[in-house]
Amino acid sequence: MTDSQKKDIRQFSNAELQAVMVSWGEQPFRGKQIHEWLWEKSAHTFQEMSNLSTSLRDKLSQEFEIRNLVVDTQQLSTDGTMKFGFKLFDDHIIEGVLIPTEGRYTACVSSQVGCSLSCSFCATGFLKRQRNLTDAEIYDQYVLINNACRKQYGKPLTNVVFMGMGEPLLNYKNVLDGIDRLTAEDGLNISPKRITVSTAGIAKMIKKLGDDEVKFHLALSLHATNDENRNKIMPINESNNLDVLVEALNYFYDKTEGRITFEYILLDGVNDSEEDAHRLIKLARRVPGAKVNIIEYNPIDQADFQKPNLEQRAKFSRIMNTAGVTTTLRKSRGKDIDAACGQLANKA
């Protein structure tokens, strides 16, 4: 049987694997063992499954394949940030990032090959969206970045953010299934409170997160304080304007009481005025407990935006904090290897 005819074993549930084993004349618990190897022990080959007989491992290899990610490229920044190019089974490349900060090791993972939203300050937005990632491909990014983190820093990952390539809420089912693989007791059993999903703002899917009562945190890529400006830099705003998004975020909070963060990249002369700061304060106050992350703009080849100077960034943040809105001025990491926010574009 050729690889193209083999089935992807990680698309089978625990119960389905047990049923396959029974059909092969094996005991059903063998299916449970295979499931454990795939999702708890992160096995990438059938030969690793040492508590299965050699004949069963050989049969699995004949009938199934494990479409695991492979590290294609790996770069280390002067600040310790690591960027990875991951090759998928169909030869597409996606990128992920390991961000080490004091007491935290964060994996930034992708949800799509490319992106369809065309945000003008983001390099990924200039790529064509090729396809959604599977839940297993999302899981693999975490596993491979965690392995690198342990090797480089002697520590496991502490956090996961869906802020890489693609729009997570346009790959809703696979992203939630991937998060389930990470958080489930029969998966990696990590806390959902260590996970943040970032969206450019698809209101109906934000509400669906509320209906599904998710346990992870939510971040909104805001980047403008009125619809006129946001329409210019984020076309998704034309169908999901600020009032609609605020309503959706409140719905999400009412259903989950989950933490909501506004992400705000400061662009010189575009969204960094005192008026913008005061409008952002008003927006944040409309969403219970909302925090604001002020993000340093990172240059990309496709756009000519500039970042404000440090004094202007500090002033903007000071206005926010003085008004009582919890605001963090976030320093970019990995700029020298194009691993910072907005720079992922498969250039390596």
Which carries the bigger pLDDT value, residue 64 or residue 118?
A: 64
Q: Long-range contacts of range 275-283, CB-CB < 8 Å, 24 or more positions apart?
A: 276/224, 276/225, 276/316, 277/316, 277/319, 277/320, 278/319, 278/323, 279/225, 279/226, 280/222, 280/225, 280/320, 280/325, 281/319, 281/320, 281/323, 281/325, 283/222, 283/225, 283/242, 283/246
- Give pLDDT, residue 125: 61
Q: 78: how many CB neighbours lie within 10 A of its CB?
A: 9
The crossing angle, in degrees rounded to 10, of helices 203-211 and 242-256 is 10
pLDDT at 129: 79
Can you say whether the dihedral through the CA atoms of 274, 283, 218, 325 is positive or negative?
positive
- Beta-carbon count within 10 A of 257 CB: 10
Lookup: tokens for 148: 């690198």
pLDDT tens-digit map of 40-64: 999 999 999 999 999 999 999 999 9
Average pLDDT over residues 307-329: 93
Does the annotation mark 95 as catalytic?
yes
* 61, 39 contact by CB (below 8 A): no
Please report the DSSP string for 153-210 in residue order. Answer: HSS---EEEE-SSS-GGGGHHHHHHHHHHHHSTTTT---GGGEEEEES--HHHHHHHH
pLDDT tens column, 203-244:
999 999 999 999 999 999 999 999 999 999 999 999 999 999
Model pTM score: 0.92
Q: Which of 65, 95, 137, 296 is catalytic?
A: 95
CA distance 9 to 32: 13
Q: What distance in Å separates the CA atoms of residue 220 and residue 202, rounded to the nearest whole number?
A: 10
Residue 348 has what pLDDT?
46
The one catalytic residue in 108, 119, 122, 341 is 341
What pLDDT is stored for residue 126 in this prediction? 64
Q: State residue 335's pLDDT score.
A: 59
Show the CA angle centred on residue 277, arms to residues 316 and 230, nearest 5°. Answer: 120
Burial of 269 (0-12, 13-18, 19+ CB in 10 A): exposed
**Alpha-carbon torsion 302, 305, 306, 311, what sign?**
negative
User: Tokens 């618990």 sit at which residue?
Assistant: 29
pLDDT band at 115, cuts 50/70/90? confident
- Catalytic (active site) residue 274: no
Q: Lowest-confidence range among 125-129, 156-160, 283-287?
A: 125-129
Give 5's pLDDT tier (boundaries 50, 70, 90): confident
CB-based contacts of 69, cutoff 8 Å, min separation 6: 86, 87, 88, 137, 140, 141, 144
